[in-house]
């Protein structure tokens, strides 16, 4: 392990995490009304109906797979009765299918954004950067999986990359574990760090929101055009206003 390994696998992760957290705090405080997906569905919906579900369902499976592979130690799955062979086959098959679905959905969304005039006009530089980095992360991740586990003889990332990932959050970084990983896995990890660093400044912030406020928000009051109230007493929240 040398100084470059320390920069790439210790300094860069903590820098990305710091920007990710503080960037979201800043964005929410100073650009709360910009915290949105800036939906373009009103401009075009045919391609969106195909690309959006394909991308979102695919990326959800990819995310769950990464959580299971990086966060849960190998010893835990083995203790639960999941052998290495079963885990490996499941991870490769599901990961490859989900990666292809995610990449295909993203390709449709990018094609739509480039070819539909109003959608392209509404595309900002941040959007272009986000799409480029997101595409890079997905392509490198899919390439690493195919090269190591389908074309190659297999690579157990749970003995190197996963412990390194957990060591970052345990504040005991082990850069040497990543230094020996295959190049495609290293590039995938570095591109993911870049994605997390730019995340707070793009439309990806919508992933961290949920319409919880709708559960407690007051009724929307509509004004009636009828001067004569109905014979039935209106329900609470539907009383006519004057």
Q: How far is CA 24 from CA 173, 196, 218, 235, in A?
A: 24, 11, 28, 41
In this structure, the number of other CB atoms found within 10 A of the CB of residue 178 comes to 25
Q: Is 24 annotated as a binding residue?
A: no
- Which tokens belong to 110? 């990018």
Q: Quick one: which of 9, 27, 240 has its CA closest to 126? A: 27
- Spatial neighbors of 106 by CB under 8 A, at least 6 apart, are 51, 55, 131, 134, 135, 138
Backbone dihedral angles phi then psi of residue 127, each to the nearest 5 degrees: -60, -45
- Which tokens belong to 102? 């995610």
Q: Is 206 annotated as a binding residue?
A: yes
Known binding residues: 56, 66, 188, 206
Known binding residues for heme b: 56, 66, 188, 206
């Amino acid at each position: 392990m040398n100084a470059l390994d320390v920069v790439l696998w210790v300094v860069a992760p903590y820098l990305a995490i710091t920007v990710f957290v503080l960037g979201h705090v800043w964005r929410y405080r100073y650009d709360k009304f910009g915290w949105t997906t800036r939906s373009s569905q009103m401009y075009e919906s045919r391609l969106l109906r195909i690309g959006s579900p394909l991308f979102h369902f695919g990326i959800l499976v990819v995310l769950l797979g990464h959580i299971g592979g990086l966060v849960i130690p190998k010893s835990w799955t083995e203790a639960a009765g999941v052998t290495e062979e079963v885990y490996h086959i499941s991870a490769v098959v599901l990961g490859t299918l989900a990666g292809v679905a995610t990449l295909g959905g993203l390709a449709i969304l990018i094609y739509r954004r480039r070819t539909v005039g109003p959608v392209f006009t509404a595309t900002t530089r941040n959007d272009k950067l986000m799409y480029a980095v997101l595409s890079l992360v997905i392509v490198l991740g899919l390439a690493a999986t195919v090269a190591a586990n389908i074309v190659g003889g297999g690579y157990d990332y749970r003995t190197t990359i996963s412990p390194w990932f957990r060591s970052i959050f345990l504040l005991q970084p082990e850069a040497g574990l990543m230094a020996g990983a295959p190049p495609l896995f290293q590039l995938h990890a570095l591109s993911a760090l870049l994605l997390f660093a730019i995340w707070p400044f793009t439309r990806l912030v919508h992933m961290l929101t949920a319409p919880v406020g709708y559960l407690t928000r007051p009724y929307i009051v509509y004004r009636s055009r009828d001067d004569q109230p109905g014979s039935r007493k209106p329900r609470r929240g539907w009383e006519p206003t004057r």
